Amino acid sequence: MSDENVLDSEADVGAVKCTVNGCENRINNKGLQLCKRHDAERVAATLLGRYLENHSSPFPQNERYMAELAATINWQAPTTVIPWEQRLEDHNHKIDEYLQNCLFRGCEIDSTIRERKALLKSIFRRVEIEDSTHPAGRRHLLVWELLSPSLGRYYLGLIISSLLKGETAPGTKRKYMNCLRYFCEYVLAKPNIPGVHGLTITDKYGPIVSTFTKYDFPVHAADRPSKNRYALAPDVLANFFEFLRNDYLPKHALPHVAARDYTAILIQAETGVRSSELLGIRSEGDGCDLDRRTWRIRVLGKAKAYSGKRPRWVTLSPLAVEVLQTFERVFRPMFDL
């Protein structure tokens, strides 16, 4: 017998077999019941359970890695292909469920809810994926794909790249990413599939984990240099009004519509109100925002989340008062015909 065979036989004397069925590995330490590979999977599964129970906690990087590894090991991909229509329905139902929760928590349906719905749909359409089950062969991203342990960070990088390509203001980029993060946090907290009892996203589509880090958000406005803003000089503004009166108004097919547009443009230029504030002005009825005694208008400006709109009064210039009076006397009755 060779020296190597002698050493092997001596090593096998105190070794025990791994207790997992079908595993032929042996352990020299009699205190262990599993080989190194199966013991690592056991530890990973334990960390996965702790991660799923406390998904919002700031885990150390190694623990999160082990949880993602365990999720990949323990989850078995479905053998049947889920139709695109069913996947799209689950994705849209999850967005609707999230918006209903926002409404329950006090968000306004006319502003916050509609804005978040539009933002989420726009964000997921920024990434296209080849899919043979889709009629067009390509489709937009779905929420569980963004939260995938293996490809989630890649898809998040594509979203960030799409925001960088366009001329989007840093504040708008931050709004997009915050809206997406809040939705993903909700999905992680409530991974159920709406309308299906007892079935979760993990059961149907695979494991989901958080893919966001602090490096995925633009810096706050206070951390950026101030941006120069410019306004039209008085003579340029006067020439613009002259162009509207001499070229735009006479050539318009509907005089009352042209007069309405001219009045709106002039009031906005003279007062500096935002477009959303201008569209919200009520000139008659209950809650009228126009004070004809002092010729002031009440506008509802921006506000922080859940704090409500903040009204302020803006004084009209003499030119704006003259144009508004002419519009109300001559052209406003034409809209009632």
- Asked whether the predicted pLDDT for residue 120 surpasses 90, the reply is yes
Q: Which one of 172, 198, 223 terminates a domain?
A: 223
Cβ-contact 284, 85 below 8 angstroms? no
Residue 8 confidence class, pLDDT cut points 50, 70, 90: very low
Instruction: Please choose, from the candidates 300, 295, 301, 303, the residue with its C-alpha nearest in 3D space to the C-alpha of residue 323.
Output: 295
Q: What is the mean pLDDT of residues 201-228?
A: 74
- Residue 106 domain-assigned? yes
Angle between helices 36-53 and 61-74 (to 10 degrees): 110
Say whether both 101 and 212 belong to one domain: yes
The DSSP annotation for 209-228 comes to: -----GGGSPPPGGGSPPPP
Residue 11 confidence class, pLDDT cut points 50, 70, 90: very low
How much is the pLDDT for 124?
94
The number of beta carbons lying within 10 Å of the beta carbon of residue 114 is 12
Token pair recorded at residue 248: 């735009």
142 phi and psi, to 5 degrees? -115, 155
Angle between helices 318-326 and 255-271 (to 10 degrees): 160
Beta bridge partners of 192: 200
Secondary structure class of 149 (helix, strand, coil)? coil
Say whether both 98 and 154 belong to one domain: yes
Contacts of 79 (CB under 8 A, 6+ apart): none
- Using CA atoms, how far residue 175 sits from 104, 119, 158, 222, 302, in Å, is 21, 9, 17, 15, 15
How wide is the angle at C-alpha 271 spanned by C-alphas 265 and 277, nearest 5°? 75
- Asked whether the predicted pLDDT for residue 191 surpasses 70, the reply is yes
How much is the pLDDT for 44?
61
- Is pLDDT larger for residue 296 or for residue 308? 296
Helix (H) / strand (E) containing 72: helix 61-74
The number of beta carbons lying within 10 Å of the beta carbon of residue 51 is 21
Across 98-107, 160-169, 186-195, least confident range: 160-169
Query: For 237-290, what is each residue's pLDDT tens digit?
Result: 889 889 988 898 888 888 888 999 999 998 888 888 888 788 888 888 877 888
* CA-derived radius of gyration, the chain: 31
Proportion of the chain above pLDDT 90, given as a percent: 15
Residue 54 confidence class, pLDDT cut points 50, 70, 90: low
Say whether both 177 and 307 belong to one domain: no
- Most confident listed range (50-54, 67-71, 88-92, 287-291): 88-92
Say whether both 149 and 205 belong to one domain: yes
Say whether both 178 and 268 belong to one domain: no
Say whether both 239 and 208 belong to one domain: no
Say whether both 39 and 63 belong to one domain: yes
Q: For strand 296-301 and strand 290-291, is the pairing parallel, antiparallel, or unpaired? A: antiparallel
How much is the pLDDT for 94?
94
What's the rounded Cα separation, in Å, for the pair 205 and 55?
Answer: 18
If you average pLDDT over every residue of the chain, what do you get? 78
238 phi and psi, to 5 degrees? -65, -40
The CATH number for 299's domain is 1.10.443.10
Domain encompassing residue 54:
3-74
- Asked whether the predicted pLDDT for residue 75 surpasses 60, the reply is no
- Asked whether the predicted pLDDT for residue 130 surpasses 70, the reply is yes
What torsion do the CA atoms of 211, 72, 143, 128 make, to the nearest 10 degrees?
90
Domain count, the chain: 3
Token pair recorded at residue 235: 């003579």
- Asked whether the predicted pLDDT for residue 93 surpasses 90, the reply is yes
